[in-house]
């Protein structure tokens, strides 16, 4: 295979959870631009339909599905609809996630549980359901969206989001263990750990932080609307067929200074 064909996703089908906005939307566009048909799902069906329409203009097929990833029946409905429409599932991007900003001593228990339920349990549910299809196919790519916040502790001057950090740390370990379990079936599981990207989740952090975050990023800027595209296509394509359980930091150099 030449280099162009290694990255070609023509004829593949991808599910992108949380694909209606932010990083998920960026990734959905990237995979579509590489040729994949896209299933966009989130709790906001109107936003999903809007993104799905944009992707069709690129020249691929796309459908929109309503889904709360913490509910097994919703997850199974998306998988079933994907198979009904496209007959295959090649790529799953577990991007949906939530956060809650609060000092650790004041964090409400129900908010802790909600973040863990969506970010960790939801990722497990979707990965398990997708893997059942992929094992039968003998091929598949699962890409989990973690965060550099999952690598360790974060100063309270930068971010007070212990539930989010904990959930992303769990996603990193989940990625590695699931990758080892599924590699023999021709399925590669890897993760992307973004740094600071201006999204709905990070907006409050960036606005309220007592720390000049951008100044302390070696690249001296936040992530933009294209910075995840290459990483996503790489991990979704045949170019990463021998990459198993890897966490790709896309953070402008933050983790390089640790």
pLDDT of residue 211: 66
Q: Where are the beta strands (DSSP E) in 67-123?
A: 91-94
pLDDT of residue 199: 80
38 lies in which domain range?
3-257
Which residue has tokens 């000049």?
Answer: 212
Q: What burial class does residue 40 get, using C-beta atoms within 10 Å of its C-beta: 0-12 exposed, 13-18 middle, 19+ buried?
A: buried
Q: In this structure, what CATH number is given to the domain that contains residue 146?
A: 3.40.50.720
pLDDT by 10s per residue, the chain, length 258: 899 999 999 999 999 999 999 999 999 999 999 999 999 999 999 999 999 999 999 999 999 999 999 999 999 999 999 999 999 999 999 999 999 999 999 999 999 999 999 999 999 999 999 999 999 999 999 999 999 999 999 988 888 999 999 999 999 999 999 999 999 999 999 999 999 998 876 776 676 665 688 888 999 999 999 999 999 999 999 999 999 999 999 999 999 997
Which residue has tokens 């309503």?
Answer: 66
- The answer to whether 194 touches 228, Cβ cutoff 8 Å, is yes
Q: How many domains does the chain have?
A: 1
Computed from CA positions of residues 253, 150, 177, 130, in that sequence, does the dihedral angle turn out positive or negative? Answer: negative
> What strands, in cross-sheet order, belong to the sheet with 140-145?
62-66, 37-42, 13-17, 91-94, 140-145, 187-194, 247-250
Catalytic machinery residues = 164
């Amino acid at each position: 295979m030449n280099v162009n064909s290694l990255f070609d996703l023509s004829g593949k089908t991808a599910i992108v959870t949380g694909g209606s906005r932010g990083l998920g939307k960026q990734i959905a566009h990237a995979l579509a631009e590489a040729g994949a048909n896209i299933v966009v799902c989130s709790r906001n069906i109107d936003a999903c339909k809007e993104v799905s329409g944009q992707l069709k203009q690129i020249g691929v097929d796309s459908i929109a599905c309503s889904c709360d990833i913490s509910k097994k029946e919703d997850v199974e409905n998306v998988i079933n609809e994907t198979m009904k429409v496209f007959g295959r599932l090649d790529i799953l991007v577990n991007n949906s996630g939530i956060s809650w900003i609060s000092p650790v001593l004041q964090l409400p228990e129900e908010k802790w549980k909600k973040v863990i339920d969506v970010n960790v349990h939801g990722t497990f549910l979707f990965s398990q359901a997708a893997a059942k299809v992929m094992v039968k196919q003998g091929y598949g790519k699962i890409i989990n969206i973690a965060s550099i916040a999952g690598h360790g502790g974060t100063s309270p001057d930068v971010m007070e989001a212990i539930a989010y950090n904990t959930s992303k740390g769990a996603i990193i370990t989940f990625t590695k263990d699931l990758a080892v379990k599924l590699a023999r079936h021709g399925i590669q599981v890897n993760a992307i750990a973004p740094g600071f990207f201006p999204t709905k989740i990070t907006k409050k952090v960036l606005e309220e932080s007592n720390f000049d975050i951008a100044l302390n990023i070696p690249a001296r800027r936040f992530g933009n609307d294209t910075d995840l595209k290459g990483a996503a296509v790489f991990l979704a394509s045949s170019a990463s067929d021998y990459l198993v359980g890897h966490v790709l930091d896309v953070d402008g150099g933050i983790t390089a200074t640790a």
